[in-house]
């Protein structure tokens, strides 16, 4: 009788350990994903700000930069990999939508288009941040359970 109770207690402990490991993995992944999306956003904004400074200095918009694309591609690939590790489908979908919106702003043929395209990206960015907040609350609550 005592052996069975001990075995059941060990199984409960192992299940709890697995649950804790999964929660920690998801938290770490979500936080890294949030940082990577912020990096992609910042790189896009930086490129636009350089174009805006060039326009202020010369009076004309420069052609869109393609020199930033290797860095943008690396960050975007990191986002895609992290997104694949997230179990929450809603967050995965929001990140995909946001990534597409940011790339739409990066791939402009005329810098004058970029502010409007980044404005479109604000909604999925805000929804993604809200979803991250809710998921992190849930995951941190699991630690206390």
pLDDT the model gives residue 3: 85
What are the structure tokens assigned to 4, written together? 């069975």
Contact 51, 111 (CB under 8 A): yes
Asked if the structure places residue 133 within a domain, the reply is: yes
Asked if the structure places residue 85 within a domain, the reply is: yes
Domain count, the chain: 1
Asked if the structure places residue 24 within a domain, the reply is: yes
Residue 72: give its domain's CATH number.
1.20.120
Q: What is the CA radius of gyration of the chain?
A: 21
Answer yes or no: is pLDDT of 106 > 90. no
Asked if the structure places residue 116 within a domain, the reply is: yes
At 109, phi and psi to the nearest 5? -90, -15
Asked if the structure places residue 12 within a domain, the reply is: no
| Full domain range(s) for residue 56 | 20-144
- Which of 40, 23, 24, 22 is closest to 96 using CA atoms? 40
What is the tens place of the pLDDT at every residue in 46-76? Answer: 988 888 899 899 999 888 878 878 999 999 9
Asked if the structure places residue 9 within a domain, the reply is: no
Across the chain, mean pLDDT equals 91
Answer yes or no: is pLDDT of 139 > 60. yes
Asked if the structure places residue 119 within a domain, the reply is: yes
State how far the Cα of 119 lies from the Cα of 27, in Å rounded to an integer. Answer: 28
State how far the Cα of 99 lies from the Cα of 84, in Å rounded to an integer. Answer: 13
pLDDT the model gives residue 114: 87
Asked if the structure places residue 1 within a domain, the reply is: no
pTM confidence score: 0.85
Answer yes or no: is pLDDT of 145 > 70. no
State how far the Cα of 4 lies from the Cα of 1, in Å rounded to an integer. Answer: 5
């Amino acid at each position: 009788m005592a052996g069975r109770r001990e075995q059941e207690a060990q199984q409960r402990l192992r299940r709890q350990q697995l649950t804790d490991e999964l929660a920690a993995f998801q938290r770490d992944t979500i936080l890294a994903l949030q940082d990577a999306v912020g990096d992609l956003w910042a790189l896009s904004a930086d490129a636009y700000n350089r174009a805006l400074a060039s326009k202020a200095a010369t009076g004309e918009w420069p052609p869109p930069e393609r020199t930033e694309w290797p860095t943008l591609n690396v960050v975007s690939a990191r986002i895609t990999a992290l997104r694949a590790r997230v179990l929450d489908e809603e967050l995965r979908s929001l990140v995909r939508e946001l990534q597409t919106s940011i790339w739409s702003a990066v791939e402009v043929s005329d810098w004058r288009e970029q502010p409007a395209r980044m404005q479109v990206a604000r909604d999925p960015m805000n929804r993604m941040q809200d979803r991250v907040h809710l998921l992190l609350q849930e995951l941190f609550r699991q630690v206390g359970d």
